[in-house]
A and B are shown apart, each in its own frame.
Chain A
Amino acid sequence: MVFNSLTFIAFFAIVLAIHSLPLAWTIRKVNLLVASYLFYSAWNPPFVILLWISTVVDWYAAQGLVKAQRPAARRAWMLLSVVANLGMLGYFKYGGFLLANFTALLASAGVSYHAPAPDIVLPVGISFYTFATMSYTLDVYLRRALPARNFLDYALFVTFFPHLVAGPIMRPTELVPQFEQPRRANRQQLFFGLALMTIGMFNKVVLADGFLARAAEAVYDSDKIPGALDAWMGTLAFSGQIFCDFAGYSTIAIGVAMCLGFAMPDNFRFPYAAVGFSDFWRRWHITLSSWLRDYLYIPLGGNRHGPRRTYAALMATMLLGGLWHGANWTFVAWGGLHGIYLSTERWLRKRFAGFRPNVWSVLAFGLITYALVNVTWVFFRAKTFARAWTVLRGMAGGNAKAVPLLNTESLVVVAVITSGLVVTHWLMRNRTLESVLARAPAAVLSCTWAVMAFAIIATQGNGNAFIYFQF
């Protein structure tokens, strides 16, 4: 079920009530586990089996890793986990994509091959829980962590519903220890958790779905040709939409976990105030970028084997990171662009190592970073390369037969929200939300909370799925 639904409100109220009862900790953990399976099966009950497979395989793989003495045996257990997880991910997420590319490859060689449509349904959140369970085995393999002491704690780590379908991607060492001791939120945690849920919901329901999605759809889902204004505003709208959608989800997830007495890590740190792309990736989808760094970039050599190997590792990581987002070459292009940006930045930093930017330079670099990030969003949002090129050409002012696509209201709404978002990110660049809330007048907090809650209800979101569910 999605967070922004009546079903979730009812579900969460029941889960919270049971979690607050004076029951044994094991029983309360079982409550959370059952609730998490219900949460997942509310989409499509049979897919719970995949979750179980992933859970059981990694549990036994980690047990095997601990018992294995020889490096080859340890490697075999690790590979079992990797192959099982990536195999499932590959089949469900990339099966159709691989078949389509195989068919296209044969066609380019003059072989006519028509495969039957695979008709594979993507299980929601498979990319997220696959990465979470893999990090469990990989941490044990890399001797960074010990396996969980009991199966219940481990199964709850994989399945815990706040992070299950769209992150933050949790590591076992972040969550399993939290299940070892009884936890229940105190009043402060409960109320602040509800406040975080309201902020996240406001981002998702009001800003992303209510006000920004329409402008992005009008530009990207149209077959008409946009001019510079429409192409930029459509892209800025998507840029804001995807942030509000995904950061909104993460904030709700953190708030939900907090109401239950658990802590989850930050997933975003005001990314549109990033100066440079390495800074951007330290602020955007932090739990994915750090996962890719720890389990892909570093094992590929990282920066330990000279510049060539570093650049190759960087590009490979970002290309695969792009593919993780979706089975389409446009996502690969998105990842590739980020890889190029990161590589270029790395080269420039070495080339101009003595350069110390002043305030204005920092601001200029920040705006350049934001503009270039927006260019990558074109490939992320466009369903085809043809549309991506049309929008990019529009952004460069090169569409001769452009027609207006967005009305004045859309243009103003996108401009206001985008400006507000970017200014907020810059003001918050070196702060946390908590540090600001600690100093704000109580009346302002109450009013803001009430206005956000009112806007959420008055916007009447229709339970739109979060964008990242499809990944």
Chain B
Amino acid sequence: MSAEARIALRPGLRLTAADRPGVAQPVPERDIPDRKWGAIMLAALVMLLLMLGAWEWHWRSYGVAPETADSDALWATQRRRIDNGEGTNATVLIGSSRMLFDLQLPVWQKLSGQRPIQLALEGTSPMFALEDLADDPNFRNSRLLVGVAPELFFSGFAARRGVLKYFRKQSPSQRVGQWLSMHFVEPYLAFDDSDFALPTVLARQDWWPARPGLHQRAPVRKLKVVAEEDRASHIWDKLEKDPQYRALAQGIWAQHLAPQPDDPTPAQLRKIVDEQITRAAAAVAKLRKRNVEVIFVRPPSAEKYLAFEDKVFPRARTWDVLLAKTGAPGVHFQDHPELQGFWLPEWSHLAARDAVRFTQALYAIIERDIEHHAPAAK
């Protein structure tokens, strides 16, 4: 130990390797404060349980119930089904939240006898999933329904793009963690949802004043409920029952749809749209070679959301071009009266009851109007 170190150290301080240059370091000594740690821990445990009970009660009172977390790991369990032998003669769904909330897996299964694999992701263009499946030889002789939410599909925006990297690099530890979470945490705790995480809750409180000059959109709040472990989902009934929460969700969409300083110019946007369509056409061509029938589906939207989509992503320059360039069939809700007249509480997703009707009508249209090629469709 250097003289300097000896002077700097006060009684009670431990020596560290920093105090012993150029020598073999001895076995460390760690002192345990002389306290009744058992009693202290027991008291802490009781308080912890009380706090957790109060926190759980608070969120249950808010209308939340325990559900399967729609984590990257859950998506990976569904994606893995394709690699594990279910990628042939399958029906696979990709798209954004509308495909996830609106297309009801149990209804589709009842009608077709086959449960689709749900790979749609909220806030995310399905382009990465389309290209991933196009490159996967395990996926063949199947049907692929691609949900098109114009704002996402034609802009390429993908909030959860990282899910594919996660799927490819998922460690054994993460897989075990997913299993433990699904069996021991998610079925019991309502607050186990990223929308109710402590930092998220703190950040969205009203008391924070807006910072001048900062253009920031409020994060989207909880909108869906995952009903089953294969990601069968529907809109959260709070949006149907609670006018205040519904107004909040609409307000957040209105904020997202308002022009922002960093929005692309019309020319830049046209280029982005063309690029997405070109990528989709290339992926569809690859899938067609493996006898995968690709069907594009444009689920309903309403009011301000629909007005925004019609203005920024007009059908003639997006949807129609997509079908023409890919040569794939499509079902657009505006072309079918039976896909209209639904209630979309926050303008973007169908009420749960209407999602059932929508699925029935969509299935009927696909079976009736689309010429099928893949064996799965027969």
Interface set of A (CB-CB < 8 Å, partner B): 1-2, 5-8, 10, 41-45, 139, 144-145, 171, 173-175, 177-178, 187-189, 191-192, 194-195, 206, 210-211, 214, 254, 258, 263-266, 269, 281-283, 286-287, 289-291, 293-294, 298, 403-413, 430-432, 434-435, 437-438, 442-443, 445-447, 449-451, 453-455, 457-460, 462-463
Question: In whole Å, how far is B207's beta carbon from the nearest beta carbon of chain A?
Answer: 9
How far, in whole Å, are A196 and B196 apart by their CA atoms in the complex? 27
* A408 CA / B16 CA spacing, docked (Å): 41
Find chain A residues with CB under 8 A from B335 CB: none
User: Which residue of the partner chain B has the closest CB to A190?
Assistant: B37
Q: A139-B24, A287-B17, A459-B198 are in contact. Are A450 and B47 (CB under 8 A)?
A: yes
Please measure, in the bound complex, the distance between the C-alpha atom of A287 and the C-alpha atom of B17, giving whole angstroms. Answer: 7
- Mask: chain B, 1-16; 1 = CB below 8 Å from A; 0 = not: 0000100001011101
With a cutoff of 8 Å between Cβ atoms, the chain A residues found around residue B33 in the complex are 192, 434-435, 437-438
- 11 cross-chain CB contacts under 8 A: A173-B26, A264-B28, A413-B202, A432-B14, A443-B43, A445-B40, A453-B48, A454-B48, A459-B197, A460-B192, A463-B174
* Bound complex: CA A265 to CA B199 (Å): 32
Chain B residues within an 8 Å CB radius of A254: 30
Given contacts A145-B24, A449-B44, contact A195 B37 (CB under 8 A): yes
User: Are A447 and B47 neighbours in the complex by a CB distance under 8 Å?
Assistant: yes
- Minimum distance in angstroms from B187 CB to a CB of chain A: 14
Known A-B contacts A408-B210, A445-B40, A453-B44; the reply to A7 vs B180 at CB < 8 A is yes
In the complex, the answer to whether A263 meets B55 with C-beta atoms within 8 Å is: no
* Chain A at the B interface: SS class: helix
How many angstroms between the C-alpha atoms of A291 and B17 in the bound complex?
A: 8
B27 at the interface (CB under 8 A from A): yes
Given contacts A188-B32, A264-B28, A437-B33, contact A454 B51 (CB under 8 A): yes
B216-237 at interface with A (beta carbon < 8 Å): 216
Identify the closest chain B residue to A1 (Cβ): B173
Given that A173-B26, A195-B41, A435-B12 are contacting pairs, would A43 and B211 also be in contact in the complex, using a CB cutoff of 8 Å?
no
Within 8 A of A (CB), among B170-190: 171-174, 176-177, 180-181, 184-185
CA–CA, A192 and B40, complex, Å: 10
Q: Which of A144, A206, A407, A434 contacts B32 (CB 8 A)?
A: A434
Contact B173 A43 (CB under 8 A): yes
Closest-by-CB residue of B relative to A446 is: B43
Bound form: Cα–Cα A455–B197 in Å: 10
Per-residue 0/1 for B31-50: is the Cβ within 8 Å of any A Cβ (1 yes, 0 no)? 11111111111011111100
Extra contacts, 10 of them, besides A404-B211, A446-B44 (Cβ < 8 A), are A7-B173, A173-B25, A174-B27, A189-B32, A191-B37, A263-B29, A407-B214, A430-B10, A434-B30, A451-B51
Chain B residues whose C-beta falls within 8 Å of the C-beta of A265 in the assembled complex: 16-17, 25, 28
Residues of B within 8 Å of A459, CB to CB, are 197-199
> Of residues 152 to 185 in B, which have CB atoms within 8 Å of A's CB atoms?
171-174, 176-177, 180-181, 184-185
- Pick the contact of B26 from A174, A442, A453 — CB < 8 Å? A174
In the complex, how many angstroms separate the beta carbon of A27 from the nearest chain B beta carbon? 23
Asked if A192 contacts B32 (CB within 8 A), the reply is yes
Cβ–Cβ contact B13 & A430, under 8 A: yes
